[in-house]
Chains A and B, each alone.
Chain A
Amino acid sequence: MAKVTLKIKRFDPQREPASWWSEHALEAEPTERVLDLLNRVKWEQDGTLSFRRSCGHGICGSDSMRIDGANRLACKTLVSELGSTITIEPLLGMRVQRDLIVDLEPFFAAYRTVKPYFISDAPPPPDGRERLQTPAQRLRFDDTTKCILCACCTASCPSFWASSEYIGPASIVQAHRFIFDSRDEGAGERLQVAGETMGVWRCHTAFNCTLACPRGINITQAIGEVKRALATGRVE
């Protein structure tokens, strides 16, 4: 057990127009997760603290937030990785609705612009079975299938902070997942979206997204591959 202090950035426009900080002293095990601590604050000290959470093990993407200045999932960040004072804020660059909850509607709207769904006019095989795809073809887009739409990447991107119209790394990751799928035929439509002014060229390879991704996706590389496809007109 160690003593830790949580410093949480709070906001509740129903109560007061400006944000404030609340501080909470807790005894914590090194194996506890930041989400456990937030739950304990909410359950034992202050029921008004608001945040999203669901799965509790890093796969649903609900509890993305800024922990000591880095975008992370609270349920995947252990106390042992942090110091005795833990600073928690909502994601940057997104409208805060209450405490750690940000407005995700623009994020999902940007996601929808890249047509994040399988496009193919080719009929499935006449025997009704699966389309064929070799393990190598499958591997080509494996990394970007891991995305859980938590927004850690987009909310860490300086280009997104500068212009929230930029579709952001998460949308490009989703576009990549389909562009490089050998079965998909929508690459042209998606590359068009990605090539627009608010598309991939806004990316200045700051690498923040790759560092922020809790799923370990090499986002900068994926964006680079989409840029290359646009530049060469070839999907390889």
Chain B
Amino acid sequence: MTHHHQFDAVIVGAGGAGLMAALQAARLTNVAVISKMYPTRSHTGTAQGGIAAPLGNMEEDHWEWYMYDTVKGGDYLVDQDAAEILARESVEAIYELEHMGLPFDRTQEGRIEQRRFGGHTREYGKGPVMRSCKSADRTGHMILQTLYQNCIKHNVRFFDEFFVADVLVHEGVARGVVAVEIATGELHLFHAKAVLLASGGFGRMFAVTSNAHSLTGEPVAALYRRGLPLEDMEFFQFHPTGIYKMGILLSEAARGEGGVLLNGRGERFLENYAPTLMDLAPRDMLSRFIYQEVAAGRGVDGKDYVHLDIRPETINRYGSAPGGRTVTAAELEEKLPDIIEMMRVYMGVEPMREPVPIQPTAHYAMGGIPTDNDGRVLAGPTRTVSGLYAAGECACVSVHGANRLGTNSLVDLVVFGRRGGKALGEFCRRADYAPLPPRAEAEAQGALDELRASRGGERVATLRSELQRVMMDKVGVFRKAAGMREALSAVRGLKERYTQIGLDDRGAAFNTDLLEAFELGALLDLAEVTAASALQRTESRGAHYRDDFPERDDTHWLKHTFAYRSEGGDVRPTRGEVRFETKPVVVTRFEPKPRTY
């Protein structure tokens, strides 16, 4: 049986972006938030280092400097109108969070304390600036908690542990979503005037990642399957400092407080690559530099990793703490409690006495669902979909361009979550319900029933780990045509095998076997688009680096990729090729220049 609901606005996802949008929209209209996990489990809670805003609490800072850093950090693929909004509105967004009760760290004067972060500079690149607001190294946790608390305060309606399998978009108009109630396995049809997607990233397509098991992107895949474009999917950020082999993130905050990267000979190798910003150069570059050191035989013990060193004596020897200050172990423990604990628990390393093995880890999707500056989803380079919105990591505004700066995702969530939520609420006040097509849930029901009954010989876990391996190896930090072609055909082979899977669990309640299978289907589609988008972009820019096209090519490629499926359209994984269009980049203040740090 299917349960029917009607809400003016339905928000999919209860991370920072979804909750921020919900708080805004709830002032204007009636809202339901649907999330496949309890809201406080969302991945926003794992964000460690901070959220940027040029408050100038520690030293002089300006939104223009911040905008410049964002544009340059994104290797000029950033839409500059959006970056200007981000940089200007970040300030009031931070104050809004503080007014909602967020416990930021404080200066002696009682103001919000700020620290340095990769790629954030004063005076257009002259040196690092203290711009990142934070709560120790659990900033995302505090943001998620604070937003959720405020949703409780304002009686926002939640559907927790509801898994969205389909987004209903017909004839260019959004009409609702179809979700599985995980506890019962029953289907729920949500009829809405408007839908906002805030489902986060999909880094689980890679073998080594900082992303949660749950970051698999079903709502993003649903739109693609329905014929809508995905933007700039070739740009996936690898964060330089993941725990070796596990991928668990060790925030840039560690380097912001003075930590340094050392090669196998104990040398601070970034002196040779990024003499001005060194360990605080942007992530795309640092990830490449680490692998270049490894390739040159200067990894640790001849292996494929280097060291992150946060021992006070190392920091003091290099004078790498902010302002060249002397630091103590106690101070570091206070500023980085969680990541120091992670080093101890997961690596058994004592970071105050020894350096920590790290390697790049798949971290952040710059690409995703294309939107305008108010969260409206684009159906093509110049058209929007009526009643459909997206915000947060699943969306591509694009403020991150080809490479996101640290702290800028959290800013994106609050600034564009807020704008999207407002636009969503206003739309619902004007608009009527577009009718649902008959048996709107039938397709999702069919696909889920088919999976639940499947008895083929392929296992979901096997296909998933093959996918993760090939994406990591061939569509990772360094790419070239042959490898990407291999990856693409491997992904298509996995899609074939996906039709032959067999599940163990035929039950209804908490059938996580079934949900993992559905999630794998989404990852396969998104991986295919990622590999195909990367293959067609014959240049290197930001996180997309090609050995066979090592230079940025502004003449041909200063533009966004829009990827579409080529045939049909239902709720199952796609077949056939990926089709492309492009959209020009908005350039307002900063003409593209070579990117050095």
Identify the A interface with B (CB < 8 A).
12-15, 31, 33, 42-44, 46-48, 50-62, 76, 78, 80, 97-99, 101, 104, 108, 112, 115-118, 120, 124, 128-135, 137-138, 141-142, 145-146, 148-149, 178, 181, 183-184
Contact = CB atoms under 8 A, between A and B. Distances in A.
A141 B505 contact: no
Contact of A53 (B43, B141, B213, B503): B213
Interface string B213-225: 1100000000000
Which 5 residue pairs across A and B have the least CB separation, nearest first? Answer: A118-B101, A47-B504, A43-B461, A132-B110, A117-B149
Contacts of B347: 31
A64 B460 CA distance: 25
Nearest to B108: A135
A60 B212 contact: yes
A141 B101 CA distance: 13
Interface stretch (B119-127, B186-194, B488-496, B508-516): B508-516
A133 B106 contact: yes
B101 A149 contact: no
B25 to A, nearest CB: 18
A54 B460 contact: no
B106 A118 contact: no
A149 B149 CA distance: 12
Contact of A130 (B111, B141, B348): B111
Given A15-B507, A101-B510, A118 B100 contact: yes
Interface stretch (B91-99, B255-263, B309-317, B371-379): B91-99
B43 A117 contact: no
22 contacts: A42-B513, A46-B504, A47-B503, A47-B505, A50-B512, A53-B213, A59-B338, A60-B46, A60-B212, A61-B41, A62-B38, A76-B345, A97-B510, A112-B152, A116-B152, A117-B101, A130-B95, A131-B99, A142-B103, A146-B138, A146-B141, A181-B101
A97 to B, nearest CB: 6
Contacts of B149: 116-118
B432 to A, nearest CB: 34
Nearest to A44: B461
A48 to B, nearest CB: 4
A57 B46 contact: yes
Contact of A132 (B37, B105, B109, B504): B109
B248 A130 contact: no
Contacts of A141: 103
Given A59-B45, A138-B105, A54 B510 contact: no
A55 B110 contact: no
Contacts of B105: 135, 138
Nearest to A76: B345
B138 A97 contact: no
Contacts of B41: 52, 54-55, 60-62
> By DSSP majority rule, is chain A's interface helix, strand, loop, or mixed?
loop
Interface string B267-291: 0000000000000000000000000
A14 B184 CA distance: 11
Contacts of B78: none
Given A46-B504, A55-B45, A181-B103, A62 B37 contact: yes
Nearest to B44: A60
A116 B101 CA distance: 11
Contact of B43 (A55, A130, A149, A178): A55
B439 interface: no
A54 B103 contact: no
B343 to A, nearest CB: 11
Contacts of A97: 183, 509-510
A128 B142 contact: no
Contact of B142 (A112, A124, A145, A184): A145
A138 B311 CA distance: 27
Contact of A47 (B46, B138, B513): B513
User: Could you say which of A47, A56, A148, A181 has the most chain B C-beta atoms within 10 Å of its C-beta?
Assistant: A47
Given A98-B510, A128-B95, A130-B95, A149 B348 contact: no
Contacts of A42: 461, 512-513
B518 interface: no
B261 to A, nearest CB: 21
Nearest to B110: A132
A117 B135 CA distance: 17
Interface string B16-57: 000000000000000000000110111101100000000000
Contact of A56 (B108, B183, B213): B213
Contacts of A120: 101
Contact of A60 (B40, B95, B348, B460): B40
A31 B37 contact: no
Contacts of B503: 47
Nearest to A43: B461
A200 B286 CA distance: 51
Contacts of B511: 50
B111 A132 contact: yes
B112 interface: yes
Contacts of A101: 510
A54 B43 contact: yes
